[in-house]
Amino acid sequence: MTHPIAWAPLPPADICERALNARDPRFDGIFFVGITSTRVYCRPTCPARVSYTHRRRFFDSAASAERAGFRPCLRCRPELAPGRAPMDAVPRLARVAADRIGAGALNGRTVADLARDLGVSERHLRRAVEHEIGVSPLDLAQTHRLLLARRLLGDTLLSVTRVAYASGFQSLRRFNAAFREQYRMAPSAIRRAARAHGGEKVALEEDAPLCLSLSYRAPLAWDALLAFLRRDAIEGVEIVDGRLYGRTIHVAGSSGFVVVEDAAVRPDDWGADVPLRAPATLARRPAHTHANPTALRPGRRAHSNRRASDAGWARGTCR
């Protein structure tokens, strides 16, 4: 039985159907198909004849299929799917945990809570993260909070209190202590240094978009990416207008709207506008700043407007 972690989301059913019918190797390990008549589950590349559509069930992991009462196919051997073999279990768990921690999974929650979400023991989760990344889950979460706080201090004039809570700290006292412990300086000193190098920043109202500087991996095939997004845009959720891409988002109970734009500026000077209620999660995911070089290009700028309707979108202003 493979590790219970599913590091890739299950594609929509119609995509799974097309990939299965074509035996598309790009989806090998991304999803599995269970046949209700035989109670066997297979990889999408299985050479065996696949049953009728109404007898198929799709799963994001072998563990999910087995929990539903399916047994592995003896021909395609799901346990050997790319990224699913036992030797890949610890790296896969660490990647999933790191992604969730970066999205704020430990802000106000414990490592035990995250381990329970991932279907593993707390001890196994700690060991996997420390083995693959070299730090504990709590240290990794603290680093994410501090780095986001530095961005907010340097790119905005938000009060220190708002920066503390927006970056995931549960108290202003702990925020100040963590800054002094890690950087040997107060948050206000970070802000003064940033203003000395970057000039005046614009103070934001409560519901105004927030502009953050985010890094990326160059180069980026932006035109090719836009063409792909335009072709497969989900009506009412995504839109591509000229050289802009926009979509609605909902993360950790916070809703918003993100617009990504080719801004033709220096590589380290682009941002993501997100509602202030959840910048730790909304600032990263929509713009895919962690993606590989085929997903991003220098100068992209992302905007968000929480008041945009589902049928359309509004361009935010990045100052």
Percent of the chain having pLDDT more than 90? 24
| Residue 299: both structure tokens together | 């100068």
| Residue 309: both structure tokens together | 């309707």
| Residue 223: both structure tokens together | 């035109």
User: End-to-end alpha-carbon separation of the chain, Å?
Assistant: 52
The span from the CA of 30 to the CA of 18, in Å, is: 14
Residue 311's φ and ψ, nearest 5 degrees, are -85, -15
Residue 58's φ and ψ, nearest 5 degrees, are -105, 145
Average pLDDT over residues 14-21: 93
pLDDT per residue as tens digits for the range 197-251: 665 554 555 556 666 555 556 677 778 888 988 888 888 889 998 888 888 887 6
Higher-confidence residue: 266 or 120?
120
Topology adopted by domain 13-80: DNA Methylphosphotriester Repair Domain (3.40.10)
The span from the CA of 296 to the CA of 79, in Å, is: 33
What mean pLDDT, rounded, does the chain reach?
Answer: 75
Domain 210-304: which CATH number of 2.40.50, 3.10.20, 1.10.10, 3.30.310: 3.30.310
CB atoms under 10 Å from CB of 195, counted, come to 14
Contacts (Cβ under 8 Å, ≥6 apart) of 8:
29, 30, 60
The CATH homologous superfamily for domain 139-198 is Homeodomain-like (1.10.10.60)
Query: One fold for both 139-198 and 210-304?
Result: no
The span from the CA of 10 to the CA of 64, in Å, is: 11
| Residue 195: both structure tokens together | 């203003």
* In the chain, where the domains are located: 13-80, 86-134, 139-198, 210-304
Give DSSP secondary structure letters for the chain.
---S---SPPPPHHHHHHHHHHT-GGGBTTBEEEETTTTEEE-TT-SSPP--GGGEEEESSHHHHHHTT-EE-TTT-GGGSTTTSGGGHHHHHHHHHHHHHHTTTTSSS-HHHHHHHHTS-HHHHHHHHHHHHSS-HHHHHHHHHHHHHHHHHHH----HHHHHHHTT-S-HHHHHHHHHHHHSS-HHHHHHHHHHHH-------TTS-EEEE----S---HHHHHHHHHHTPPTTTEEEETTEEEEEEEETTEEEEEEEEE----TT--EEEE-TTSHHHHTTTTTTTTS-TTT--TTEEEEE-TT--TT--------
Higher-confidence residue: 85 or 34?
34
For residue 267, say if its preceding peptide bond is cis, omega within 30 degrees of 0: no
pLDDT per residue as tens digits for the range 159-189: 899 999 988 999 999 999 999 888 888 998 8
pLDDT value of residue 207? 57
CB-based contact 142:200 (threshold 8 Å)? no
pTM for this one? 0.57
pLDDT per residue as tens digits for the range 24-78: 998 998 899 999 999 999 999 999 888 888 999 999 888 788 888 999 998 998 8
pLDDT value of residue 314? 31
**pLDDT-wise least confident of 76-85, 241-250, 276-285, 305-314:** 305-314
